[in-house]
Structure 1
Amino acid sequence: MDDQNKNLILATVLSFLVILGWYTFFPPPEPEQAPETAVSETAPAGDTALAPSAAAEAVDGSAPEQAEAPQAARLAIDTPRVTGSISLQGGRIDDLSLKDYRETLDENSPIVKLLKPVGEAEAYYALYGWAPGAGLSLDQVPGANTVWSAEADATLTPDSPVTLTWDNGNGLTFSRTISVDEDYMFSVTQSVANASGGTVSLAPYGTLARHGQPADLKNFFILHEGLVGMSDGELAEIDYDDMADFEPDARDGSKAEIRQVAENGWIGFTDHYWMSTLIPEPGQAFRSIAKFDERREIYQTDIVLPTVTVADGQSSEVTTQLFAGAKEWETIRGYQKAGIQGFLDVIDWGWFFFLTKPMFWLLHNLNVLIGNMGWAIIGLTVVIKILVFPLAYKSYASMAKMKELQPEMEKLKERAGDDRQKMQKEMMELYKREKVNPAAGCLPILIQIPIFFSLYKVIFVTLELRHAPFFGPFQDLSAPDPTSIFNLFGLLPFAAPAPESILALVFIGILPILLGVSMWLQQKLNPAPTDPTQQMIFAWMPWVFMFMLGGFASGLVVYWIANNTITFTQQYLIMRSHGYKPDVFGNIKSSFKKKPKAENE
């Protein structure tokens, strides 16, 4: 077995084992149903400057809150991109749906609902309030169940904010003005006016509460879902299950992790494609709190701003933001440019972020230019092949040179006989004399591994690939090929086996077949190796990959097909330019020849 074939087999087998291990041990699981949870909520941990008894009572949810009253009035939310309502009980932003996104490809499918009020399954909402300081009791500040007043029939739109008011009856008047932009960013301005005749201290806070884990949680290692936050440039990603490992809080039995943020930060929950995030103003110090109430299975994040002291006749106000919407790269990037530090990191770029970020940037811009994500993936493949062309050129030139040296290598083997040490020594001298690197042949395959994984990450985690059409039956490049031998590639009027079905591993679609054929043709640039073990590996490899990658996102298979096609063309032309003419048709023909039976001794 010559060194070129050894390296090629090693690289191919390595690629195969890595992908097979990934697919075998970390398959996307079936969605799990979230368990039923108690209808209750907690309030955030207050500032340490507050009186200890007041802080313990106000902040850590020592007493369960009541469910929303059925008669609680609501204010409508209506923007170009979201619809929903705000409950006047607690002033909660707890009903929000995304107009631009449907649950499935069916045009009659319901639009995605992000936030849900208490009383519905998987309640998920944002609320705001003030933690009382010295001289104030819990019932003198607005909390999770305070009933606010607002102008009748007011509707929150990008052009018309809404204002909620509440008078505590003891000289403190609270107001909350909520505005929203054209996308997904809410601004919440909380203010208090003091006419009590004395000085008061209190701390504004914002809370995101989630009752139970989401039912569509992927639990897939390549994707982070759960708590995400930024604290002065440090990113925190904590899974829901890991929140149960927080340190217990003696005051209420919940578990909490608290971070003091000096200048810039945000905290919230991220799903596969959607998220909600609490964001103080840039430069604002605050406490970032993540909590898990195991008894009621409520996941919670809080931002608690510093305590303010308001003298009689004075007022104080603070503005924070709430992002609640889709994780669109361009939209989030715009907010980051506007001053939200590290906001693009809500998208899970992974350990290979130095590859995934520029790769997605290029893919996104190609899609904007071309107008089709499938062709954008092919365009990305072309750009990648251009970038690695110098390496590929050296590799394929080296392979052509190795083919030219094949007769001399055979002579060396004959002269060396069984003396393997002598043979290796003379072969190394031959390589050195002819300036050939036997390891160069495997480099194009090896370099594909991080590129493949990075592109898989991009296709899996980014919203822009969700329901992105290519052509014909390929209307979602983030999903596996919807065609199948089972339905004659769409000619018969029934669906292909579900991706999680065992049948889907057998009844594969058009794209995986094209992938297998393209790999098989790429092999035929060289004659089949004489070693029986090598022959067997090379014969089976394309078809194993074909069936194995059949369940991957179709966008990834499109990339692999395009990559194989370009690689075949490059290798053929480069090898010909160096004097070696690959006999593709001859190699195909020889692979179908019957092997002679071994003669009996």
Structure 2
Amino acid sequence: MDNDQNKNLIIATALSFVVILVWFVLFPPPEPETQIEGTVTSQTAPVGESLTTPTADAPAVVPEATATPETANSALANAPRVRIETPRVSGSLSLLGGRIDKLSLNDYTTSLEDNATIVEILFPATEPNAQYALHGWAADTGVEASGVPGPNTPWELTSGEILGVDTPVTLTWDNGSGLLFSKQIAIDDQFMFTITQSVENTSNASATMAPYAILARHGIPTDLKNFFILHEGLVAMTDGEYSETDWDKMPEFEFNQRAGARTDERQITENGWIGFTDHYWMSVLVPQQGTAFKSVAKYDERRDIYQTEALSPIQTVEPGQTISNTTQFFAGAKEWDILKSYEDQGVYNFIDAIDWGWFAFLTKPIFWLLHQFNLLIGNMGIAIVALTLLIKALLFPLAYKSYVSMAKMKELQPKMEKLKEEAGDDKQKMQQGMMALYKKEKVNPAAGCLPILMQIPIFFSLYKVIFVTIELRHAPFFGPFQDLSAPDPTSIFNFYGLLPWGVPDAGSIMALVFIGILPLLLGISMWLQQKLNPAPTDPTQQMIFAWMPWVFMFMLGGFASGLVVYWIANNTITFTQQYLIMRSQGYKPDLLGNIKGGFGRKSKAEPKK
């Protein structure tokens, strides 16, 4: 390869290196999971405290509990509960307030250990990581605040015994003043609750009130990833506009005197939802789509409570009439196909709850392809290899032009050497002569940079997909590689997976020094790809080329193993393409000679005979 072409390749490779280096510094690989990931830990105002919830049309107040918080917590601990049992979730709801406050995901464990516990995402107010959802009515005209159900209302179970698929339960409460409240709670075979609230007016006077749904949590979660590439906190869909707010940004909301907290209120005219998300799990309030409601995000700094509310317009129930309101509550894993199914059923743009990032136009199709390959093959590691093959096939026309150009550059080598002799020390004359030669022979010396540059956005998009999607969590490949979202678990310390011993913690100095099998294969594949071309004559260029594969090997060693699998497959396919295309153009890469040249022996490249 001539000196100018070497420079172009070094520029492209160096650019790739710099971008990845900056990415590595700004967004280092996360610590391995050791606890429940993304446990949603929120709650509404504690039992025994009031909640102010303005509706879409006028202010209304949820009745203030009269008991002290200590007494209320005791009442909650002793309140009757209704079991929740489906194939995918288990837990219970409390008859005190009718709150959904205990939920576990049967298909997910906190780690790959044999004794790992099931992931829990909802907790009652008596526990430190409390989170639960409340649904009720806020009093307006014609009804006292004590005449509507609130956080401490003692509901009665009047229908059903266990909440399960196709077996809803019904809770009722009579306010003693002619209003009979009922709440039917149903759950499907995945993660969606449906809550239908009704009010029957048996009195002689009309009553006005507003239905609400509340989800909140105490304090910021203790197990945050704090990783820039990942959003954790508030998520909301507002008439087609998706928004994210980090936990530390909610205390910056403008103070609302009426609510006694910092709030962000938005009027939804047709479609929307609001809730909290973390890495893999999500809890979201979903009002009936196609109807108006007020979406409220709230931070109560007095009690360090993060809260979301979906407030429906005020309704009037006349004597002898019954009114009702239906909302949904999602609490579960952010599985792509499940969110897509809810979106198909009418939950507007629900798939956007997955953190696709700024390059959603790339991350979405990349994930879809990866997901489809995994469904077809049944192994996520092989699916990554298949995705790499497809990407390389799509980029093949560009790669073909690049490698043909590189082969033609080899053919022009004698003419370029003659130009150098004629130009002597006149660099301007040399450059003009080379440009004229390139134009005459229709050769683009920068073409070799394009395949490398094209790989950068794909690399970052795939990294985003592997990191944020739950489908990669605990996804096995083979042997010791049982979690493609985690770094390579092998090391010399466990004889590269042959022994059941621990390895240095990911991100530690020991882990970076004693890297695993996949990073080693990555370095070797980059080194072999480099050896398709003779080493440059310039000593500085030689040094850069010599160190580049091994620097990448150590840098990417702490990244998700699925990403390293992609990079290895990409290097292997690129090596094969380049070798075959250059041979077809009359240039025979002297791989063995170039390897020997890298160890101080003379390298060479012969035309194909």
The TM-score, its normalising length taken from structure 2, stands at: 0.93
- Which of 142, 146, 168 is the matching residue for 1:161? 168
1:294 is displaced (CA, Å) by: 1.4
Give the AA of the match of 1:3.
D
1:436-585 pair list within 5 angstroms: 436-585=443-592
Distance in 2 between the 1:539 and 1:371 partners?
39
More moved, 136-145 vs 428-437 = 136-145
Residue identity matched to 1:122: N
Aligned to 1:3: 4
Look up the match of 2:605. Answer: none
Q: Residue 575 of structure 1 contacts residue 581 of structure 1 at CA under 8 Å; is this kept in 2?
A: yes
Q: What RMSD in Å do the two structures reach over aligned CA positions?
A: 2.2
CA distance in 1, matches of 2:576, 2:502: 36
Unmatched runs of 5 consecutive residues or more in structure 2: 603-609
1:136 aligned to 120, 143, 163, which one? 143
Partner of 1:413: 420
Deviation at 1:492, TM superposition (A): 4.1
Alignment correspondent of 1:19:
20
Is the partner of 2:297 in helix, strand or coil? Answer: strand
Partner AA of 2:258 in structure 1: R
Q: Does 1:203 align with 2:210?
A: yes
Q: Distance in 1 between matches of 2:441 and 2:287?
A: 66
Specify the alignment match of 2:358 in structure 1.
351
Name the % identity.
66
Please say if residues 59 and 131 of structure 1, whose CA atoms lie closer than 8 Å, have aligned partners that are also in contact: no
Larger deviation, residues 65-74 vs 556-565: 65-74
Report the residue type matching 1:541 in the other structure. M
Residue 51 (structure 2) pairs with residue 43 (structure 1) = yes
**Distance of aligned partners of 1:281 and 1:160 in 2 relative to their CA distance in 1, 3 Å threshold:** same
Matched, 1:248 2:249: no
- The equivalent position to 1:296 in structure 2, one of 299, 303, 306, is 303
Cα distance, 1:503 vs structure 2: 1.0
Once residues 15 and 50 of structure 2 are traced to their aligned partners in structure 1, the CA distance between those partners, rounded to angstroms, is 51
The 1:579/1:594 distance shift into structure 2, 3 A limit, reads closer
The secondary structure found in structure 1 opposite 2:184 is strand
For residues 121 and 539 of structure 1, what CA distance do their matches in structure 2 show?
54
For residues 154 and 221 of structure 2, the distance between their equivalents in structure 1, rounded to whole angstroms, comes to 28
Q: Deviations over 1:271-308 (max 9, x none)?
A: 11110111111211100000011121111111000100
- Conservation of the 8 A alpha-carbon contact between 2:535 and 2:594: yes
1:153, distance to aligned residue in structure 2 (A): 7.6
Superposition pairs of residues 19-418 of structure 1, within 5 angstroms: 19-28=20-29, 43=51, 45-47=53-55, 49-50=57-58, 55=60, 66-67=72-73, 69-151=76-158, 154-418=161-425
Amino acid at match of 1:25: L
Q: What amino acid sits opposite 2:571 in the alignment?
A: N
Equivalents in 1 of 2:570, 2:451: separation in Å?
Answer: 11
| 8 Å CA contact 1:44, 1:60 repeated in 2 | no
Displacement after TM superposition at 1:473 (Å): 0.1
Worse-superposed segment, 474-483 or 397-406: 397-406
- Pick closer, same or farther for the CA change 1:519–1:488 going to 2, 3 Å: same
What are the Cα deviations for residues 398-444 of structure 1, in whole angstroms up to 9, with x where unaligned? Answer: 01111111222122122112211111110000000010001100000
The Cα of 1:253 is off from its aligned counterpart by 3.2
3-state secondary structure, aligned to 2:96: coil
Asked if the contact 1:43–1:60 (Cα under 8 Å) also holds between the matched residues in 2, the reply is no
Instruction: Tell me by how many angstroms 1:58 deviates.
Output: 5.1
- Counterparts in 2 of 1:135 and 1:158: CA distance versus 1, 3 Å: same
Task: Please state how far the C-alpha of 1:32 moved relative to its aligned partner.
Answer: 12
In 1, distance between residues paired with 2:134 and 2:405? 65
Maintained 8 Å contact 2:160/2:168: no
Q: Secondary structure at the match of 2:557?
A: helix
SS at match of 1:319: strand
Q: 1:126 is matched by which residue type in structure 2?
A: A
Question: Is the Cα–Cα contact under 8 Å of residues 42 and 307 in structure 2 kept in the other structure?
Answer: no
- 1 CA distance for matches of 2:8 and 2:375? 40
Please tell me the residue identity of whatever aligns with 1:45: T
Q: Say whether the 8 Å CA contact 1:28–1:219 is kept in structure 2.
A: no
Match of 2:607 in 1: none
Residue of structure 2 in register with 1:598 after alignment? none
Distance change in 2, residues 1:29/1:456 (3 Å): closer
Distance 1:594 1:528 in 2: 11
Helix, strand or coil for the counterpart of 1:208?
A: strand
Deviation per CA, 1:358-380, whole angstroms, max 9, x where unpaired? 11111001001000000000000
